[in-house]
Chain A
Amino acid sequence: MSTSQEHRPEIAVDGFPRRNRWAWMDFVTSADHKTVAKILMVGSGGFLFLAALELFLMRLQLAIPENTFMEPYTFNRVLSLYGATSIFFFVLPLVMGIFLYIAPLQVGARGTALPRLSQIGGMLWAAGAVVLYSGFLWTPSEAGVNPLPPLSELAFLSNNGVDAWLTACGFATFGFVFISIDLATTLQVDRAPGMAWRRAPIFAWAANVGSWLMLFIGPILLAAFTMLLIDRNYDGTFFSDGSGGAPLLWQHLTWIFYSGAYMLVLIFAFAAIAEIFAVFSGNELFNRTAVMASIAAIAVIGTLAYMQNMYTAPIGIGWKYFGMLMSLALIVPVGLVFYNLIATLGGGALRMRAPVLWAVGALVMLSLGLAAEMQQSLVGAAFYLKNTTASTAATSFALIGGGVFGGFAALHYWYPKITGRAMGEQLGRISFFTTAAGTLLAFVPLALAGWEQDQVVDAYKFFNHTGVNFYNLLSSIGVLILFVGIILILINAVASVKGGARAGHDPWGGDTLEWFATSPPPVHNFDVQPDVRSARPLRDIRAAIATRTREAEQRAARESQPVA
């Protein structure tokens, strides 16, 4: 640039300010979907570390019976912080971030339709993170993972911890809603010419379904948060008993969100695994229509199944059966997705690279978690298993399977696109096996302790004579291993930014349009928007280039013949 300035003084470069001194300012004020997504992804990596640390601290307290490592209120604060961190500041921003980065590229869009919305969304999310983690400056919430009123009402927790918790998670949710508006619009109007939904990549479809899902569930959670804030700060009575309030209302509203968010993580993981299996086995996704329909069905049915979290609440038995019906109906779409993912491998030539390893791990963890959830979706079984550590274990298997394993499968897969370099393969394998061993060791004993001995959730201690000492010790060791595994993943991700092997624009031989852009993609993503003729546009482009080259060679050979 400086040379052009010297030799071509007539070109006005002032019109394109590149203030390198303020590069970070450019970064945080950019409305580019890729930059916003990067902020979300980097942030969620940091919060994964914090969530794992908090989980480890809680397990340290629960390693031995009647431990006095933590005061009861300290435990409840760490628990509340862990719940908010793992849901609102790790898994959802990771999912939304990867959706926001990859899905517009996959449909060949040259940016998003409403970039300022995504920018505001990213900023709101970051503001929420700041509010949550400055909570330790005053008093953090003690109300638990889901702050159920009346416990979270002013009468029982009279400091501002719950307000800060609600504000933080509310900001984050607001951010996700804004991002999903942008994403849904982009995927609707900015797809490349010729890309009908039947040709759109499965991950972009999942991003579309996920955005609409977030648009539906996000405002419901925000409504609940607002009501509780009014209750706490302006003498409201939404959730207090008597005076017309209803404590159960909170459970209805928030479980809609939490169930929907659960489904969002599931469809994210399924779609990422589908992309990975297809590319690494050299096949097309087996029966993509069925998978697309299943993903949409999971979002709808799974959210309707929210009442499976309320089996022990005083609601009519009919509603509980409805919850059970919807939960069991999920067997069909989830089973179809599993079936088609496995069938995608059939007849393929699978390359066992790190993304595939993580994807397989994700499917194993998801199978364990979802099967256990199926057991607990039977109303009568939940009369015992609900709120035992068996239910924690089921949810953790599914969300760690989808969020950590699925998330890192996706990250390993798209990392070269995002940074231009590949993540370390060897460290990827080591961290995978560490994390997998840690997850199994952490949550299988907890499931047994919950089922056999009725160990309850969220308790800051357990008693010596209850027969769960060994299970809890194993689980604490498992969480330590899981923690180490997560640190290894994060080290790998950070170190590979500078130290990874350079990857071209298409290191895996992908079929979808994000691999058509350079790595990392420029601000405008694509110089030209390609015409899309099939579900595997990049393969078409590769084939076309091969054909043209062959034709050109043949023509050259023909023309070089002497004319006789």
Chain B
Amino acid sequence: MTPHSPGTGQINTLIWIGFFAALIVVLAINLGLFGAIRRNRGGRGRVATQPRGAVGLQWRVAGVLSGFAALLFVLGIIFTSNATSEPKTTSAGLTSYHGEKLEGPLVIKTTGQQWIWRYNYPNGAFSYYKLVIPVHTEIEMKLTSTDVIHTWNVPDLTPKVEAVPGKDTKIYFRADAEGEFWGQSSTLSGQAYAPMRIAVEVVSPERFEEFIAEQQKDIRKGDEAAEEIEAEKVAEEEEGEESSSEGEESGSEGEEAGEGEATEGGEEEAESTEEGGESAEAGGAPNAEAGGEVFAENCSVCHGADGHGGNGGPDLTTMPKAQEQASAEEQVTDGGGGMPPFGGTLSEEEIKNVAAYVVEDIVGGK
């Protein structure tokens, strides 16, 4: 632990105070114990002659111990209250946000879910796994959970605190250096608890504003794409209704099951080449239908059977990287953001197929 926030500096000092107190206790007990054993070994007809224990002696010992405990208690309260106090934004920090003057801390709503953290920045931007914050700025982090108890734990920056469903917990911190900081959830939250890591990137206030703008652009793009596809789908459905109601029924069944029927598959593929020209250019012809099976086996555990999230994985339609074939392949191969890498477990072809399935069928809304 290398503290990079005023609060964690206090925590670190208190840990060392506690360590030296513990060292004193361990040394006192063990030196006393082994000294007494060495001095009082039996043998050679030695007879036990016990000194009488006076009551006054006990009170003196108790007095010394009470003083020791009281000292620790006072130090504990002083350093703990320092560690939990609000560190004010300095002049080098983020003073205005989106052109408005920032009064008080920058509020970031953090939500734990199985098995990833989601951060909601002010003004609607959000990110998963990696939190980006401006340096020298007071952050108010509001923690909660949507499913089980997760413990927020980035030792260099913040005190450890539980995110409990139905409760809002607030912590305050201020990063004093730019860079990447790591953490890991520390309350058992189910199967993928161990890889539920946290990354915090501390950046300059200018870079932070850029980041928020980029996030918002990505999210808007994703939303627009989704709306467009939604609109197309509605148009298609209308067409389908006109031509034959049977075809529409079987189509919707295919959607629900997450894998197209053999007859439908052909149509879908043909349509996908129309919509996403890039994916065809990427080489080979990724088979979205085969990808559906891969998805059902490997991904639906977290991302839900229909890819709209639910079991811990985020809703794929909201993820920027799931919008395009190349970035989706990259994400599946390398993992990241709480997602394990599948580069070793799935073949290249399978990755291509599942990425195609995600891009075309889930994000594409088919």
Q: Do A and B come from one complex?
A: yes
A-chain residues with CB within 8 Å of residue B61 when the two chains form the complex: 335-336, 339
Cα A462 to Cα B196 with chains together (Å): 11
A491 touches B (CB below 8 Å): no
> A380 to B76, Cβ gap below 8 A?
yes
> B11 to A380, Cβ gap below 8 A?
yes
> B153 to A328, Cβ gap below 8 A?
no
A518 touches B (CB below 8 Å): no
Cα A128 to Cα B149 with chains together (Å): 28
A425 touches B (CB below 8 Å): no
Count how many chain A residues have C-beta atoms less than 8 Å from C-beta atoms of the other chain.
86
- Residue of B with least CB distance to A310: B162
Most buried by B among A150, A336, A348, A388: A348
B-chain residues with CB within 8 Å of residue A321 when the two chains form the complex: 77, 80
> B72 to A281, Cβ gap below 8 A?
no
Q: Known contacts being A281-B48, A384-B1, is A352 close to B41, with CB within 8 Å? A: yes
A-chain residues with CB within 8 Å of residue B19 when the two chains form the complex: 375
B-chain residues with CB within 8 Å of residue A364 when the two chains form the complex: 30, 33
Count how many chain B residues have C-beta atoms less than 8 Å from C-beta atoms of the other chain.
85
> A367 to B29, Cβ gap below 8 A?
yes
Q: Known contacts being A378-B18, A381-B14, is A387 close to B147, with CB within 8 Å? A: no
> A312 to B162, Cβ gap below 8 A?
yes
> A381 to B18, Cβ gap below 8 A?
yes
Among B12, B46, B80, B184, point to the contact of A378 (Cβ < 8 A).
B80
A-chain residues with CB within 8 Å of residue B191 when the two chains form the complex: 72-73, 76, 142
- Residue of B with least CB distance to A290: B58
A-chain residues with CB within 8 Å of residue B57 when the two chains form the complex: 287
Q: Give A156 Cβ to nearest chain B Cβ, in Å.
A: 6
Q: Give B341 Cβ to nearest chain A Cβ, in Å.
A: 11
Q: Give A139 Cβ to nearest chain B Cβ, in Å.
A: 13
Q: Give B77 Cβ to nearest chain A Cβ, in Å.
A: 6
B123 touches A (CB below 8 Å): no
A368 touches B (CB below 8 Å): yes
Q: Known contacts being A324-B73, A368-B26, A454-B184, is A331 close to B65, with CB within 8 Å? A: yes
Cα A360 to Cα B168 with chains together (Å): 48
Q: Known contacts being A339-B61, A384-B160, A387-B186, is A367 close to B1, with CB within 8 Å? A: no
> A381 to B11, Cβ gap below 8 A?
yes
B-chain residues with CB within 8 Å of residue A154 when the two chains form the complex: none
Cα A287 to Cα B50 with chains together (Å): 11
Contact digits for B34-51, partner A, Cβ 8 Å, 1 yes 0 no? 001101111100111111
B-chain residues with CB within 8 Å of residue A360 when the two chains form the complex: 33, 37
| Partner-B contacts on A (CB < 8 A) | 72-73, 76, 79, 142-144, 148, 150-151, 155-156, 241-242, 245-248, 281-284, 286-287, 290, 312-314, 317, 320-321, 324-325, 328-329, 331-332, 335-336, 338-340, 342-352, 360, 363-364, 367-368, 370-372, 374-376, 378-388, 451-452, 454, 456-463
The 7 sampled A-B contact pairs (Cβ below 8 Å) are A76-B190, A151-B188, A247-B165, A342-B36, A347-B48, A348-B40, A461-B195
* Sample of 18 further A-B pairs with CB below 8 A, known A350-B42, A380-B76: A144-B188, A241-B164, A241-B165, A281-B42, A286-B50, A290-B58, A314-B168, A338-B29, A343-B36, A347-B51, A350-B37, A378-B18, A378-B76, A378-B79, A456-B153, A456-B184, A457-B186, A463-B197
